[in-house]
C-alpha cells in the first residue's frame, strides 16, 4: 500500500436503505424514539413526509438526528379524502410504504413523478387485495398512482415473488406486525436483491418484532426454522417468513454507513492516482452492496479492511464475470470501473434494472460508449471491454455527443464521475440529481479529484 500521507480519507454517508427502515420502524412504534446518522436526501424526505402525513411526529434535531413519536402500529389515512403520499422518484418509499400504509386505517393516495407511474407494483397490490385491502389504480394498470382504502390488513398466509423487486417482500415484512400475524412464502421463478431483505429482518429484530425464517429441502418438504443470517441464496418455494403480531419498540437507533454510496470512492481508490480510505463502513454489514469490495478484489484491486472502514489502493485491474443479482445498485459503478480493466467484464442476472429510475443497462452502455468504451448490451446485463487508462492520454471523444446524460438517475451521475480519472472531461446534464441519495457527493468527490 502507498504511504498513508498520500491517502484520501472520505466518510461514508449514512445508508439510504437502513435510513428508510429505521424511520419507518420508529414511526410505527408506540412512544418516542431518536434516530441518529440518518441520510438527509430527497428519498428519505419523501419517506419522512409520508410518515408524518400518516400521523407520526418527526422532528429534525440536528444533522442526521431525528426525534420520532410513533403511531403505535396504526398509520392514519383520510376518511373524507385520501392522504396524499407523494413518493416522487423514490421506488423504495413507494413499495415499502404502500404495504405499510395498507395495514393502517383510512385512505391513502400513492403517487409520484412521471417515471414512477411507469414502474410496476402490481404483484404487491395483488397480495394486498388478497389481505382484504381495497386498492384502485388511477392510471395504468399495475403501476402507481393508486388509491388505498383500508380497515387494516388481515393476517394469514400469502406468497410474493422477488423477480421484479425485493422491496415487495420488505414492505410486507414491515407491515406484517400490524396484522394478526402473517406468513409470507417466496414464490416466482427467481430472487433478486436478497440482501435488502436481510436489512429488513435486521430492522425487525432491532425494533423487537418476533419472527422466524423457515426453509425446506423440496417444495413438498417439511418446514424447519433456519438462521436467517446464514442464508446466502433463496430459492422460490423453499423459504418463508412467519411474523408475529407486535408493536415496534421505541428507543434510540443509529444508521450505519452506506456501502452503495461508498462504492464510487472505493472504485476511485482502485482506478485513481491515490489510495482512498472510506471511513464509517461496517465490514460485517448485511448490506448487499458490500459486494463492491469483493468485486474489486476479484478484478485485482489491493485493499485493506479495518474496523471502521476500508482502504483501496491504485491497482491494475482485470476483467471478470460477475452475477450481480444480489447487488444491482452497483452495476453502474462496476460498469464504469470495468472500463479501466484489461479485457472484458461481464455483468449478468440484472434484467430487472430496466425498470429502475432509468434503464440501468442501456444508460451505462450509451454513456460509456461516449468515452470510447466498447459495451455490449445483453438481455440481463452488460459486457464492458476495458480500454481506459488512469492518468493516460484522454480518449478521443466526439464532442457532438456531449454532455454525458444522467437520465435523472443519481447512480448514473456518480458512476460517470469515475471517467474523469482517464482524462475524460465529464460534463453532466443534471449533476444535481445526486441529491436523491447523496446531496454532498460533489463536495466529497473533490477530495479524490484533487
Binding residues for 3-phosphoshikimate are 16-17, 21, 165-167, 193, 329, 356
Q: Which residue has the cell 424447519?
A: 224
d(CA 73, CA 61): 24
Binding residue positions? 16-17, 21, 91, 119, 165-167, 193, 329, 356, 360, 411, 436
Q: What are phi and psi of 316, to 5 degrees?
A: -85, 120
Distances from the Cα of 322 to the Cαs of 138, 346, 358, 427, 432, in angstroms? 40, 6, 22, 29, 31
SS3 for the chain is: CCCHHHCEEEECCECHHHHHHHHHHHHHCECEEEEECCCCCHHHHHHHHHHHHCCCEEEEEECCEEEEECCCCCCECECCCCEEEEEECCHHHHHHHHHHHHCCEEEEEEEECHHHHHCCCHHHHHHHHHCCCEEEECCCCCCCCEEEEEECCCCEEEEEEECCCCHHHHHHHHHHHHCCCEEEEEEEEEECCHHHHHHHHHHHHHCCCCEEEEECCCCCCCCEEECHHHCCCCCCCCEEEEECCCCCECCEEECCECHHHHHHHHHHHHHCCCCEEEECCCCCCCCHHHHHHHHHHHHCCEEEEECCEEEEECCCCECCEEECCCCHHHHHHHHHHHCCCECEEEEECCHHHHHCCCCCCHHHHHHHHHCCCEEEECCCCEEEECCCCCCCCCCCCCHHHCCECCCCCHHHHHHHHHHHHHCCCCCECCHHHHHHCCCCHHHHHHHHHC
State the number of CA atoms in the 13 A half-sphere of 239 facing the CB.
Answer: 21
d(CA 112, CA 49): 13
Catalytic pick from 86, 258, 329, 409? Answer: 329
Closest by CA position to 39, among listed 12, 57, 59, 70: 12
Binding residue positions for phosphoenolpyruvate? 16, 91, 119, 167, 360, 411, 436
- 149 as an active site residue: the answer is no
Among positive and negative, which fits the CA dihedral 162, 40, 27, 203? positive
For the chain, give the number of residues: 450
Active site residues: 329
Amino acid at each position: 500500500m502507498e504511504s498513508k500521507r498520500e491517502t484520501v480519507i472520505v466518510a461514508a454517508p449514512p445508508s439510504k436503505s437502513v435510513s428508510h427502515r429505521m424511520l419507518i420502524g420508529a414511526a410505527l412504534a408506540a412512544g418516542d424514539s431518536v434516530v441518529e446518522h440518518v441520510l438527509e436526501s430527497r428519498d428519505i424526505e419523501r419517506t419522512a413526509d409520508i410518515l408524518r402525513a400518516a400521523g407520526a411526529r418527526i422532528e429534525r434535531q440536528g444533522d442526521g438526528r431525528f426525534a420520532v413519536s410513533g403511531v403505535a402500529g396504526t398509520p392514519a389515512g383520510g376518511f373524507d379524502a385520501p392522504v396524499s403520499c407523494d413518493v416522487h422518484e423514490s421506488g423504495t418509499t413507494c413499495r415499502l410504504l404502500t404495504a405499510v400504509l395498507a395495514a393502517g386505517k383510512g385512505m391513502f393516495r400513492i403517487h409520484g413523478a412521471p417515471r414512477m407511474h411507469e414502474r410496476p407494483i402490481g404483484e404487491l397490490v395483488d397480495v394486498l387485495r388478497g389481505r382484504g385491502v381495497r386498492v384502485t389504480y388511477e392510471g395504468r394498470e399495475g403501476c402507481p398512482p393508486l388509491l388505498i382504502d383500508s380497515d387494516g390488513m388481515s393476517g394469514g398466509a400469502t406468497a410474493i415473488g422477488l423477480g421484479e423487486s425485493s422491496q415487495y417482500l420488505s414492505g410486507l415484512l414491515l407491515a406484517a406486525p400490524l396484522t394478526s400475524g402473517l406468513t409470507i412464502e417466496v414464490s416466482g421463478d427467481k430472487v433478486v436483491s436478497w440482501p435488502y431483505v436481510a436489512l429488513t429482518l435486521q430492522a425487525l429484530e432491532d425494533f423487537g418484532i418476533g419472527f422466524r425464517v423457515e426453509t425446506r429441502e423440496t417444495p413438498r418438504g417439511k418446514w424447519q426454522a433456519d438462521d436467517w443470517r446464514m442464508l446466502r441464496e433463496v430459492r422460490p418455494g423453499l423459504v418463508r417468513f412467519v411474523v408475529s403480531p407486535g408493536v415496534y419498540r421505541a428507543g434510540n437507533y443509529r444508521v450505519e454507513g452506506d456501502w452503495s454510496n461508498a462504492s464510487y470512492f472505493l472504485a476511485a481508490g482502485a482506478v485513481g492516482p491515490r489510495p482512498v480510505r472510506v471511513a464509517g463502513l461496517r465490514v460485517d454489514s448485511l448490506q448487499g452492496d458490500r459486494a463492491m469490495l469483493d468485486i474489486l478484489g476479484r478484478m485485482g484491486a489491493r485493499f485493506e479492511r479495518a474496523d471502521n472502514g476500508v482502504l483501496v489502493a491504485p491497482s491494475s485491474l482485470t476483467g471478470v464475470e460477475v452475477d450481480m443479482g444480489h447487488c444491482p445498485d452497483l452495476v453502474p459503478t462496476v460498469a464504469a470501473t470495468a472500463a479501466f480493466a484489461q479485457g472484458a467484464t461481464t455483468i449478468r442476472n440484472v434484467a430487472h434494472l430496466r425498470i429502475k429510475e432509468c434503464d440501468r443497462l442501456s444508460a451505462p452502455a450509451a454513456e460509456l460508449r461516449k468515452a470510447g468504451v466498447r459495451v455490449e448490451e445483453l438481455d440481463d446485463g452488460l459486457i464492458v471491454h476495458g480500454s481506459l487508462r488512469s492518468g493516460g492520454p484522454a480518449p478521443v471523444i466526439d464532442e457532438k455527443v456531449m454532455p454525458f446524460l444522467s437520465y435523472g438517475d443519481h447512480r448514473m451521475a456518480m458512476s460517470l464521475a469515475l471517467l474523469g480519472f482517464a482524462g475524460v472531461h465529464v460534463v453532466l446534464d443534471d449533476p444535481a440529481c445526486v441529491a436523491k441519495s447523496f446531496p454532498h457527493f460533489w463536495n466529497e468527490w473533490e477530495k479524490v479529484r484533487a
